[in-house]
Amino acid sequence: MTLFSPWALWFLSFMPLVVLMYILKQKFEERQISSIYLWQQVLKDIEVNTPWQKLKKNLLLFLQLLSILFLVFALSDPYLYTGGGMHSNLVIVIDNTGSMNARYENGTRLAKAKQLAEEMISRSGTKANITLLTAGRSPRVEIGKTTDKGEAISKLRDINPGNSSGNINDSVSLVRAMIKQYEGGDSYKAVFYTDSPVNTEDLNAEVVSLASELQNVSLDYISYSDDNGRLTVLVRASNRSNTSLEREISLYGNDKVLDIKNVEIPAGETMSVYFEGISANAPYIWAELTEKDDLAEDNQVYCILDPAKPKKALLVSAGNVFLEKALSNIEGLELYKTNPDENLYEGYDLYIFDSAEISQLPESGSVMLINPSLGNGIIEAGAGLEGGIADIAAHPLTKYMEEASFTVSKYKKMEVPFWADVLITLDGNAAVISGEYRGRKTAVIGFDLHDSDFALTTEYPIFMYNLAAYLVGIDLKGKTSYVCGDAIDLNPNPEAEEVVVKTPEGVEYKLELTYPMLPFDNTGQYGVYELTQRIGEAEAVSSFAVNFPAETESAGGKPDASAAQEASEAGNVPGGTRLQELFLGLLLMAAAIEWVVYIRGY
């Protein structure tokens, strides 16, 4: 046992003063009495108050001395060590990845981890520095070096379950960085609550293993093929248990049941389940295991139907590396090339004519002219002019390139038609324009890219993306399936005035339209997300699916011989008991007894 405030022991010096008050003679006033019956009691009082005589037994004196003793010990804040030594710095790491949602006893692994961690915090030293970390998709410090147990426990209780994957060993590096500020190798203790093995080499640490055998089947992924509107849906199911399990898998289109299959999956094996001839008039499909098991989060899997198909662009050019690289790096856009003297085929979403003669425009599709030729059928291209420094106009298509600076050696003079907006000018003349000509989106760059240093600037790929996205209507990068915790790079239309993402729980996030646009990482909930883009009075809505990372989190969390200890042994971690509350309770009890003794005159 130790005293955190030993200075309070000086108050024990009041005990002799109390005793002295009892043995010193007291002075009484002389009064007349009506009977001699009380003389015997008066005689006793006189004997008691005779100074320096032998102190007689007195219950009140004993209770008052005991009260002082309890008060002094309460002020000294005694602490009784149990289960080993005490450390001045306690680092607690809670694993809250998806596998910690698995059933454990009457709750989950995470709930058990929080319970055991709370017990440890309660047993820690009064002045111990407590640091709390979570290890989800990435390590995170919830609270650092606090001596307030109540605050630490409050933060611990606020830890929410996660659905993302993660590596508990990533938090070890953070713990190693933290302990460098602690003096002495034994001044800290790190405790990891997890269902995965942890490499704690060279650390003064313990691992409380919450791994356990599960009765669990996971749905790993879902995909489909379309044959004239009839779908063949593939659902991949894995038995993560040690015994063969029979499960019912239901296929839904939105909330409508499309088909149900019963399958028996051998222990530790994976099975492909096919649903054939499915007709789904819905934006997405999803599969679910009817029977709940030890990990409910991997019992559903989602898939978006008819995602935006990649747009096709045909580049008519003798060769332009700068242009080809910029366009080929745009996800959701498939680039094809042809020479100016070859036949032009229909069916592309965008036609790009780079310094190429145009005998006849295609019947459909958007058009981009670069260094336009005479008689191109869209705009009158005049004589060549001497170039200069480009001036960027304020426009949705020049978003994020306001600070661009480049020079053009020469360009063609263009008469700006009524349907076009000017994007870039040179010496007050239009150099780049865009708009809608006869029902098709059109853009014209009035100079050869080789005659400028535009392609060498950081803003060049941004501008080409904005221009291509406008011409063909690219919304997302083509990918519509992710896993919980993914940071998604959303590429909204450059003309979008507002972009909102709605989660499966109905929470809406309004994205900030700045460059560089930050990835959307609020993907902790599995299900279907909606992306809404407002362009003027119109709204464009698309979807993407986020699924539980079954490949990593459903397979993990099995008992491992390398784990330091089981959860049942968590009581052996260093801790102790604070006795201050005990002595305060005894003080109140002694005061109550003293009051009863005084009232009854014992």
Over residues 257-273, the mean pLDDT reads 93
CATH 3.40.50.410-classified regions of the chain: 89-212+557-573
Q: Which residue has 């009380």 as its token pair?
A: 38
For the segment 347-371, what is each residue's pLDDT rounded down to a tens digit?
888 999 998 888 778 888 899 999 9
With a cut of 70, say whether residue 188 has pLDDT above it: yes
With a cut of 80, say whether residue 451 has pLDDT above it: yes
Domain 481-550 has CATH 2.60.40: yes
Question: What gap in Å lies between CA 484 and CA 527, rounded to an integer?
Answer: 9
Question: What gap in Å lies between CA 175 and CA 91, rounded to an integer?
Answer: 8
On whether the CB atoms of residues 86 and 576 are closer than 8 A, the answer is yes
In CATH, what number does 89-212+557-573 get?
Answer: 3.40.50.410
DSSP of 201-237, one letter per residue? TTSSEEEEE-------EEEEEEEEEEETTEEEEEEEE
- Note the residue count of the chain: 602
DSSP of 523-583, one letter per residue? --S-EEEEEEEEETTEEEEEEEEEE--HHHHTT-----TTSSEEGGGGGGSSEEEE-HHHH
Structure-model confidence comparison of residues 322 and 11, the more confident one: 322
Number of H helices, E strands in the chain: 10, 32
Q: How far is CA 35 from the centre of its chain?
A: 88
Question: What gap in Å lies between CA 235 and CA 250, rounded to an integer?
Answer: 10
Question: What gap in Å lies between CA 142 and CA 162, rounded to an integer?
Answer: 15
Q: Would you call 281 exposed, middle or buried from its count of C-beta atoms within 10 A (0-12, 13-18, 19+)?
A: exposed
| Confidence band, pLDDT 50/70/90 cuts, at residue 113 | very high
What pLDDT score does 31 carry? 64
Q: Sign (positive/negative) of CA torsion 412, 414, 420, 424?
A: positive
| Confidence band, pLDDT 50/70/90 cuts, at residue 5 | low
CATH 2.60.40-classified regions of the chain: 481-550
CATH 3.40.50.880-classified regions of the chain: 311-472
What pLDDT score does 374 carry? 83
For the segment 411-425, what is each residue's pLDDT rounded down to a tens digit?
998 888 899 999 999
- The answer to whether the pTM exceeds 0.75 is no
For the segment 512-561, what is each residue's pLDDT rounded down to a tens digit?
887 667 889 999 999 999 999 998 888 888 889 999 999 889 865 454 43
What pLDDT score does 38 carry? 58
User: Strand, coil or helix: what is 84?
Assistant: coil
Phi (first) and psi of residue 84, to 5 degrees: 110, -170
**DSSP for residue 168:** T
What pLDDT score does 353 carry? 92
On whether the CB atoms of residues 99 and 195 are closer than 8 A, the answer is yes
Extract the tokens encoding 375.
């008689």
Extract the tokens encoding 87.
């450390």
In CATH, what number does 311-472 get?
Answer: 3.40.50.880
